[in-house]
Structure formats: structure tokens, C-alpha cells
Amino acid sequence: MSLPLSSSLPSEDLQTMLQLAIDNARLTPKLVAQLPPPPTNGCTWVLGAGKAAAHMAQVLEQHYPGPLKGLVVTPYGYEQASHTCPGHHPPAAQIEVMQAAHPIPDAASIQAAQQLLRRAHQASAQDQVFMLLSGGGSALLCQPAAGVSLADKQRIHQALLHSGANIRAINCVRRHLSAIKGGHLALACAPAPVHNLIISDVPGDTLIDIASGPTTADPTTSAQALEILQQYAIPVPEAVQQALAAGQLETPKPEDRRLPPITNHWVATAQKSLMAAAHWAQQQGYQPLVLGDAIEGEAREVAKVMAGIARSVHRYQQPLAPPCVILSGGETTVTVGPQAGQGGPNVEFLLALLISLEGLEGVYALAADTDGADGSQQTAGAWIGPDSLQRARQQGLDPQQFLAKHRAHQFFAELGQQVHTGPTYTNVNDFRALLII
């Protein structure tokens, strides 16, 4: 067994890999240079929504060769991306920035959606539209469909978040209760061509699920949305059930000729971020293995699988030999009961992993959300080492009780092993690294 070349602590190496993954998930001047030039007789509109929207707008203003105008929406506190992101871009001047709530939409989300639709309707055939899409866009753009209230959407979305449903199921319902998602915003932009600039936060980078696809035609149906609500026993008003069953809340489909020309430009994906972390790890003497960017499932169950892989590496040097790092992304879920804590899929994964490893020698791990907030908490995630379980018990912390009550954030806060990044102004979803030396 060879030793890693890195002179830093394993926990520091894990946090370096996380930061590299985050830094790789940003719009760069090089990508801006590859965008279509300004139209000869029209203007370039910039619309957008998500945790990266303000930073993307700032980079565009600094590096795009023509004038821009428009509006982007970002969560509260994310409009000052220029002060903390690499490059120190000044605040957007040509492009207006609005703020709204995440992950549960509020009245500002409705106002933002209405303002984006108003600007989209102003675009002409001589213009072009740059649509900036990133994680969080679904909540930030909330224009309920006819017969659906904001309170209805808030209740349904909150219930879905705690149901254990995956992001594809959640977004299917969101689209069919919306007048802006699932291609509706693209219809408003027509006939102007739309260029989507995408930072993907969904497993597999499915376009329709990124910000619930406001400028992407929707292949799913209202009948499927109703089936999901019934599967997870989500209560909805009778009128909404009837409208879904009758197809009255249908979204624009790929064959809809009213849609304008749409081109997709990939700014960042989870896979690219994982590969950036893997490249650095290899330079430090760790053998990297990337399991993929689309791992899903209940967080504590995924943890058991990862613990099994760690044991195989430790005992048999399979599927690779130490020193090594196993990287993965995707989006795990937490099914939270009504009396439970705050959840947080990454910290719940890590707490379950800690229990399953039982203090296995030489194993370190980090799990964090690349947007800087795991679940509803403004903490990115946490890390563990081979002595973490023993230290917890010495402090009187019972990992099993914290896991049962979904209080992993509290557990790692008391253990002193949280990962704080602050708002990162991007999002390529979960980042997990299992380091074995």
C-alpha cells in the first residue's frame, strides 16, 4: 500500500475536493465567448432563475460583446454573488435582479414569475433570449395554473419534499400546477429564439427537471402528475384533482409548433465537477473512482451501500486499492415524519455512514450540497473520520437516536464536524467523497 502525496490532513483534502467541485460549476468568460453574437436588428434579453442566476448575469454583463436587458430571480441573500465569487464581478447593472423564497415559494415568487413572463412577451422575432437556469429555479418562479392558489402550491410542495419522492416526481407535479414551468415561458418568448444556459442540479441532467423546465417542452402528462400525488398520498383540493384528471392543466409538448427555436448550452454539470475533484485527487496520490452523478435513493440506504464498498476496499482492495477516493453525486432523499427534525439528505447520509462503518480504520468521508445549504439548513454538510464515532460517544451523543429523529445537522454541530461554505451561487447537487488510506 502506497501513501498519498498530500501533506494535508485527509479532512482538509476532502474539503479541497468539495471546493474544486463548486468552483468548476460556474459560468466563465470562455463559455460566454461561445454564445451567439448580438442580433443585427434586435436586442438580447436575459431571463433566468436559480441560485446561480445573479452570478451568471454578472459574468454575462462583464464579458458579452453587446448590450443586454432583462431580469433574473435568485433566493434571498444571493443577489450579492459578486462579493464572494471568484473574479469579483460588479453587481449586474443592465439586468435586474429580484429575490424570492426557496425551497417553498412565496408571494415574491409569484411577482417574479409575472415579471419574467411580461418581459418574455416583449421579445420579437429580431431578438434573442438567454435563459439562465440553475438549481432552485422551480421555487423562485411560481405562477400557479388556473384554479391553483399559492397556498395550494406551498402545501403540496412541502408535502412532496417530506414524502421521499425523487426530484423527477416532484418536478412533474410542479410543472402541471404552473403557468410558467414545463415550457410555458418558452411559449411566452416566441417567436424569439431561446438559448438556455444551464447549470444542472438534477441526476442525469434531464432538461425538463432543471428549474422544472420553463423553456423546455414537457413530455410528461397531467395524468402522471395526479398519479404521483396519489402514490405519495398528497392531499390536494378536489378542483385541482379534477383539472389534472381532465387534462386541463397540460403543459406544452415537444411537438407543439408554437414553441420557438431552443438551443441548450451546458455551463456546468455534476459529472464535470466530480471529474475536477478526481483529477486533483489523482495529483495528490489518491486513486480516484467516480461512481457517477445520478445516485438516488433514501439517504440512509445509500450510506449502507457506500459503507459496504469501503469495507471491500479496506479488506480486499476491491474495486481499487488504498489510498483512494470514491466520488459520487446525485440527489438522495429523506422521508421525514411530522415530529422529526430538519432532515438534510447529505448529513443524514453521513450519519448513517458513520454508524455503518463502526469506526473502520483509515476511512474518511464528506457529504455536502454544492449550493451551500443541505435541506432547509444553511450548512453545506459535514465530514467524518475513523475516530468520529468514538468521539461522539465520549460526548454522550447517540448516533442512532439522532438518525431516528432526523437530527443529523444537530449531531454534527455538537461534534464540531460541519462543513460551512456559505452561499456558493451555483448548484450541481450532492457531492460525496469517501477517502480510504
Give residue 236's pLDDT.
Answer: 94
Please tell me the predicted confidence (pLDDT) of residue 181.
97
CATH architecture of 10-22+270-436: 3-Layer(aba) Sandwich (3.40)
CATH number given to 27-143+178-217+252-268 = 3.40.50.10180
Residue 83: per-residue pLDDT? 42
What is the average pLDDT value for the chain, to the nearest integer? 92
Model confidence over 278-326: pLDDT tens digits? Answer: 999 999 999 999 999 999 999 999 999 999 999 999 999 999 999 999 9
- pLDDT over 70, % of the chain: 94
**pLDDT beyond 60 at 1:** no
Average pLDDT over residues 37-42: 96
Full 3-state SS string of the chain: CCCCCCCCCHHHHHHHHHHHHHHCCCCCHHHHCCCCCCCCCCCEEEEEECCCHHHHHHHHHHHCCCCEEEEEEEECCCCCHHHCCCCCCCCCCCEEEEEECCCCCCHHHHHHHHHHHHHHHHCCCCCEEEEEECCCHHHHCCCECCCCCHHHHHHHHHHHHCCCCCHHHHHHHHHHCECCCCCHHHHHHCCCCEEEEEECCCHHHCHHHHHHCCCCCCCCCHHHHHHHHHHCCCCCCHHHHHHHHCCCCCCCCCCCCCCCCEEEEEEECHHHHHHHHHHHHHHCCCEEEECCCCEEEEHHHHHHHHHHHHHHHHHHCCCCCCCEEEEEEEEEECCCCCCCCCCCHHHHHHHHHHHHHCCCCCEEEEEEECCCCCCCCCCCEEEECCCHHHHHHHCCCCHHHHHHCCCHHHHHHHHCCEECCCCCCCCCCEEEEEEEC
Task: Indicate if the pLDDT at residue 392 is higher than 70.
Answer: yes
Q: Say if residue 380's pLDDT is above 70.
A: yes
Confidence of residue 24 (pLDDT cuts 50, 70, 90): very high
Between residues 366 and 1, which one has the greater pLDDT? Answer: 366
CATH 3.40.50.10180: which residues of the chain? 27-143+178-217+252-268
Q: What is the pLDDT of residue 301?
A: 97
Amino acid at 157: H
pLDDT per residue over 55-98, tens digit each?
A: 999 999 999 999 999 999 999 988 765 444 444 444 567 899 99
**Beta-ladder partners of 325:** 288, 435
For the cut 50, the answer to whether the pLDDT of residue 239 exceeds it is yes
Closest CA to 119 of 168, 51, 192, 54: 192
- Range 375-392 average pLDDT: 94
What average pLDDT score do residues 331-352 get?
Answer: 84
pLDDT at 338: 58
Which of the four pLDDT bands, split at 50, 70 and 90, describes residue 377?
confident
pTM for this prediction: 0.86
pLDDT in tens, 97-111: 999 998 888 999 999
Q: Quote the pLDDT of residue 430.
A: 95
**Residue 230 clears pLDDT 90, i.e. is over it:** yes
Q: What tens digit of pLDDT does each residue of 202-227 get?
A: 888 999 999 999 999 999 999 999 99
Higher pLDDT residue, 249 or 93?
A: 249
Where do you find CATH 3.40.1480.10 in the chain? 10-22+270-436
Quote the pLDDT of residue 393: 96
